[in-house]
Structure 1
Amino acid sequence: MRWPSLLAALLPAAAAATAAAAATTQTMEATAAADPALSLRVLTFNIRYAAAASTYERPWSVRGPLVIKTVAAAAAAAAAANASAVVIGMQEVLDAQLQDIAAGLGEAGGEGWAHLGTGRDDGARAGEYCPLFYQPGRLALLGGAARQLWLSPTPDVPSYWPGAGSRRYVLAAAFEDRATGRRFVAANTHLDNVSGEARVAGVGIALGLVRELQAAWGGGEEGGTGLPAVLTGDFNSEPGDGAYEAVLADGLLADAYAAAADAARFGPYETYTGFVPDQIPQVASRIDFVWLGPNGTDTWDLARYEVVDNVVDGVFMSDHRPVFVDISLKG
């Protein structure tokens, strides 16, 4: 699906900075001045798969341009603030939606984009993707490929954890910033919505893959934690629940919200809203996360954590709100 008017709609949106984007730009410029080594904007966004429309859930043909507009504007604001790069983790992306987003970001101008990841059901194009979008002009993909493991006892093939409602996977890649030579690992996942056991097991597999890439591209023994890392995803787990607590107990990564100073937090607390306005107070929860690591080290500065509204011109673009963080990896 393509929208002929998309470019005309996106370019003004990216060029016209909102008050939030202006504040973000100022914050990131200050951070870049203090530490020019490597500044990143990291986004996570469950865009909602292209389901049949309902009273409040509009079809993808309506939601899609709003998703692209929002992501493109966030990337443009980061570029205006001289961020080194932008990395975007998405969830619930069907193949046709992936093509729309890739085309829309390309039409929005700026740096070219590439994406990694496959459909979860066959390792090709079937089922939902958990893609990572990045800018190859700014970031080199180390090894020329990403690593993808299914969150199951047989992680190398499309498969389920026993009791899980869907096939799930984690995607991870190691990048090198072309300007500075700094390296980092980015990973993205979507944990199961049915089985708490599957979610906790998935955390273990995801963190294991992050460590594998840290060791492969950061030097040191396997299990080493020196290379900076980010993990994005819809965890279907709130703080205090099993999967969230499993990440904390592991010790590798820190929750960006918890790590951010009060003055650096913007937007609402909850990231999931559903589509029905009257039900939001009952269902809203924080289940979408950006995790940063290595935890407990002096690796990065967190300048901004923001949850962005998912209602644009009265339309829910998704049942989740996008989340982004601005970080600087220290020299």
Structure 2
Amino acid sequence: MQIKSLLFGLVAAEAAMASLPLRVVTWNIRYAASSLEQGEKPWFDIFCWATKSRCRQYKFYDKLNQIVSSTPNGAPMVIGMQEVLDNQLNDIQNSLGDGWAHIGVGRDDGKKAGEYSPIFYQTSQLRVLASETKWLSPTPDSVSFGWGAGSRRIVTTAVFEHIATGEKFIHANTHLDNVSAQARSEGIKVVLTRIQAARVAFGPLPVSLTGDFNSAPYADAFKTLADTGFMKGELYDLATPAQHAGPYTTTYTTFREGAGESRIDFIWLGAAQNYPYSVVKYEIWDHTVDGMRVSDHRPVVGDVILQ
């Protein structure tokens, strides 16, 4: 009986050690526009040197730091961002500091032109085993538009390994088109193809997917992905009422108070078969600092345990 109890304790301890807490974030940061929308503050301009409070950049850092510093103790973190221009990428990287790195390329030339959909991660916690950026089009290996899209669209995919435990997982980040429903639905199929390709190469690893889908829950791309049955689901739905935190239920807000809002930014978890995650908390964060909306989207933060 004592031997059985000892063995059970060892097995339970091993299972507990294998559990990896993880924070997953998606945030469309709003590109640094030269023509501002109503209520929008510039990301940065020459006047910001004298009056930092007039620009989004520094307030954005404050909010990002709140998200990072509130991460459960010891949990690695991956942040999928959208609408990031090259200057913003460098600004954010410098703000996060040497303990962070990013992957991704600009969508308009595969280098630095146009918006990135980058993934930021902590180098002390995670190493990248493989990464790629593909275009959401019939020719994903080349810079291209797909299915009537108003802009080139991409997916950034990485295979991560947790340095301390050796646990591996796949994370993908994307920004679907705002013009063409067909581009969104076909584009998410490309995203899924790239995730599945990573699983072919590295085995049936856990998957997280972040992105601005530019469509409502259960519509076009969301429905297309759900109908495949490959992913377990979107974190908003996977979380129980007790696991939902904060007062917000929408993510896209514009910069104007009182404008219509919607939920178009998602965190998906999978795969459905041998589903490896348990949910700790889901929260749509406030995106204001000192009364300024630092983006026209709220960040979405998910705390999960990879088992």
**Which residue in the other structure is 2:261 paired with?**
284
Given the alignment, which residue of 201, 208, 212 partners 2:197?
212
Deviation at 1:308, TM superposition (A): 0.5
Is residue 81 of structure 1 aligned with residue 73 of structure 2? yes
Q: What letter is aligned with 1:310?
A: H
Query: Which of residues 113, 121, 145 is equivalent to 2:100?
Result: 113
Which has a greater percent of helix?
Answer: 1
Tell me, in whole angstroms, the C-alpha distance in 1 between the residues paired with 2:37 and 2:63.
22
Aligned residue in 2 for 1:56: 39
Displacement, 1:162?
3.0
Query: Contact between 1:35 and 1:328, CA under 8 Å: does it hold in 2?
Result: no
Q: Which amino acid aligns with 1:105?
A: L
Pick closer, same or farther for the CA change 1:34–1:271 going to 2, 3 Å. farther
**Inter-partner Cα distance in structure 2 for 1:272 and 1:193:** 13
Measure how far apart 1:73 and its partner are.
Answer: 1.9
SS in 2 for 1:278: coil
2 CA distance for matches of 1:296 and 1:157?
Answer: 32
Q: Are residues 1:323 and 2:300 paired?
A: yes
- 5+ residue gaps, structure 1: 1-32, 219-225
The Cα offsets for residues 260-282 of structure 1, whole Å up to 9 and x where unpaired, read as 01011123111001111122xxx
Please say if 1:297 is aligned against 2:274.
yes
Q: How far apart are residue 82 of structure 1 and its match?
A: 2.0
Q: Could you say if the C-alpha distance between residues 170 and 298 of structure 1 is closer, same or farther in structure 2, counting changes exceeding 3 Å?
A: closer
Could you tell me which runs of 5 or more consecutive residues in structure 2 were left unpaired when the two chains were aligned: 1-14, 45-54
Q: Does residue 58 of structure 2 align to residue 65 of structure 1?
A: yes
Corresponding residue of 1:272: 252
Q: Match for 1:99 among 90, 99, 124?
A: 90
**Which amino acid is the alignment partner of residue 211 of structure 2?**
G
* 1:88 alignment partner, SS class: strand
Of residues 169, 172, 176 in structure 1, which corresponds to 2:161?
A: 176
Q: Is the 8 A contact 1:186 1:229 kept in 2?
A: yes
CA distance in structure 1 between the partners assigned to 2:109 and 2:139 by the alignment:
14
Between structure 1 and structure 2, the one with the greater Rg is 2
How many angstroms apart in 2 are the aligned matches of 1:154 and 1:229?
A: 24
Corresponding residue of 2:219? 241
TM-score by structure 1 length?
0.82
User: What is the Cα deviation at residue 36 of structure 1?
Assistant: 5.7
Secondary structure of 1:189's match?
Answer: strand
Match of 1:255 in 2: 234
Task: For residue 45 of structure 1, report the CA deviation from its aligned partner.
Answer: 0.2
Q: In the TM superposition, what is the alpha-carbon distance from 1:294 to its structure 2 partner?
A: 1.0
Segment of structure 1 superposing worse, 33-42 or 316-325: 33-42
Residue of structure 2 equivalent to 1:198: 183
SS for the counterpart of 1:121 is coil
1:72 CA drift (Å): 2.0
Opposite residue 103 of structure 1, the aligned amino acid is: N
Superposed displacement of residue 150, structure 1? 0.1
Residues 1:43 and 2:25 are matched in the alignment: yes
8 Å CA contact 1:303, 1:327 repeated in 2: yes
Which amino acid in the other structure matches residue 266 of structure 1? A
Query: Which residue is equivalent to 1:138?
Result: 125
Give the TM-score, by structure 2 length: 0.88
SS of the residue corresponding to residue 142 of structure 1 reads: strand
Listed one character per residue, the Cα deviations across residues 136-163 of structure 1 (whole Å, up to 9, x for unaligned) are 22111114xx111100111111100131
Shift of 1:39: 1.0
Distance 1:262 1:115 in 2: 33
RMSD, aligned α-carbons: 1.5
Residues 245 and 54 (structure 1), Cα distance of their counterparts in 2 relative to 1, 3 Å cut = closer
The AA in structure 1 aligned to 2:174 is T
CA shift digits 1:23-56 (9 cap, x unpaired): xxxxxxxxxx966621110000000001133441
SS in 2 for 1:163: coil
Per-residue deviation, 1:74:
1.3
Match of 1:309 among 261, 286, 289: 286
Secondary structure of 1:245's aligned partner? helix
Would you say the 8 A contact 2:102–2:121 is kept in 1?
Answer: yes
Answer whether contact 2:63 2:287 (CA < 8 A) is retained: no
Count of aligned pairs: 280
Residue of structure 2 equivalent to 1:28: none
**CA offset digits 1:233-267 (Å, max 9, x no partner):** 00001112111101100112210110001011123
User: Which residue pairs with 1:12 in the alignment?
Assistant: none
Aligned identity (percent) is 47
CA drift of 1:310 comes to 1.3
State the match for 1:18 in structure 2. Answer: none
